[in-house]
Amino acid sequence: MKLYSRVTGTGSCLPPRRLTNADLVAQLMASGIETSDEWIVDRTGIRARHFADDGVFSSDLALEAARHAIRAAGVVVADIDLIVVATSTPDMVFPSTACILQGKLGNCGAAAFDVQAVCSGFVYALSVADALIKSGSARTALVVGVDVFSRLLDFSDRSTCVLFGDGAGAVVLQSSTTPGLLATDLHSDGQHNRILCVPGQINSGQVQGSAWLRMDGQAVFKLAIGVLDEAARNVLAKAGLSTDDVDWLLMHQANIRIMQSTARKLQIPSDKVIVTVDQHGNTSAASIPLALDMAVRGRRALPGHKLLLLAVGGGMTWGSVLLDL
């Protein structure tokens, strides 16, 4: 019997500390950094973001999102036999955030590991979990996207510090005889590894190099615009479907202009595009599962709907997942 994977529950977590553009602008102006709500909204579509307090780690946000997803799926922690966490802001160098999450959940025995594909991380993690379920290696997977990018932000660099927020999103993915995930498509081009990076390393007990996020915004923008619609067409072709079959376009929430341009190229109307970037900012690996959970809990994305997930991130990495909810 052919096996497929299906999303059976979603969950998310936003840390309670919310900063509107006005809050952030006031903070930045107090330290002599010129910026404005108008610039941020006009160039990015972002109006607010959430920041985790000191002492709150990726595994803490992941735990809350995971608990919501597990409850929604109607499974128990002991049913989970695979935990994949997409993050670029792990709690520690090692062990993986997936293992730390596993310990906090009280699960014993599931395979647990992290996936590092920056803002494409959740699409990568979902694709890996799908493959392991289809092969019969796993039956009930917990797939999490989580990041606390506020820890990486240089608040003297106005071109990056206004863009990001913290959060987590999770899904339970279960083995099924009816297709849920219809197709996946993953790519990367390591030649562009320097246009978005945190270039520091740990050596002899010290961080060497810079541990701040650095980005060539225009190069990232150009690459994102160039690859996303192709990733969409690839995954639709693999599933034998067209953009007309898509109920919701759920893209990585980095910048409203990237999302609008991609939707236009795909001829997907704007009322089918899920947008949370205005309220969350760019939460990196968390952005797609967070937006998915909002759409499911807001009863916009309903059982039977087809969702096209599209992501691009540091690496540069990009990819897509087409799924039947």
**Nearer Cβ to ligand ACO (79/157):** 157
**Number of other residues whose CB lies within 10 A of the CB of residue 178:** 8
The residue of the chain with the least Cβ separation from ligand ACO equals 217
> Which member of 70, 152, 198, 224 binds ligand ACO (CB under 6 A)?
224
Give yes or no for a contact between 249 and 274, defined as CB atoms under 8 angstroms apart. yes
Instruction: From the candidates 50, 68, 252, 280, give the one annotated as an active-site residue.
Output: 252
| Rounded-to-integer distance, Cα 297 and Cα 197, Å | 33
282 is a site residue for ligand ACO (CB under 6 A): yes
> Which member of 75, 111, 217, 247 binds ligand ACO (CB under 6 A)?
217
Of the candidates 62, 91, 215, the residue with the CA atom closest to the CA atom of residue 153: 215
- Binding piece for ligand ACO, criterion CB under 6 A, among 76-84, 105-113, 210-218, 238-246: 210-218
Fill in the per-residue mask, 102 to 121: x = in contact with ligand ACO (CB under 6 A), - = not in contact. Answer: -----------------x--
> Which member of 12, 102, 234, 255 binds ligand ACO (CB under 6 A)?
255
44 is a site residue for ligand ACO (CB under 6 A): yes
Is residue 55 helix, strand or coil? coil
H or E element that contains 166: strand 166-176
Instruction: From the candidates 119, 197, 255, 280, give the one annotated as an active-site residue.
Output: 119
β-pair type (82-86, 48-50): unpaired
| Rounded-to-integer distance, Cα 236 and Cα 216, Å | 30
Is residue 155 helix, strand or coil? coil
| Rounded-to-integer distance, Cα 83 and Cα 227, Å | 29
| Rounded-to-integer distance, Cα 214 and Cα 157, Å | 9
For residue 158, the minimal CB distance to ligand ACO (Å) is 4
- Binding piece for ligand ACO, criterion CB under 6 A, among 40-48, 49-57, 226-234, 299-307: 40-48
Is residue 12 helix, strand or coil? strand
| Rounded-to-integer distance, Cα 96 and Cα 321, Å | 24
**Nearer Cβ to ligand ACO (9/313):** 313
Give yes or no for a contact between 83 and 188, defined as CB atoms under 8 angstroms apart. no
Q: Is 119 in the active site?
A: yes
Q: How many residues bind ligand ACO (CB under 6 A)?
A: 23
φ, ψ of residue 143 in degrees (nearest 5): -120, 125
261 is a site residue for ligand ACO (CB under 6 A): no
Site for ligand ACO in 45-104 (CB under 6 A): none
212 is a site residue for ligand ACO (CB under 6 A): no
Residues that bind ligand ACO (CB under 6 A): 35, 39-40, 43-44, 119, 158-159, 162-163, 196, 215, 217-218, 220-221, 224, 252, 254-255, 282, 312-313
- Just list the catalytic residues: 119, 252, 282
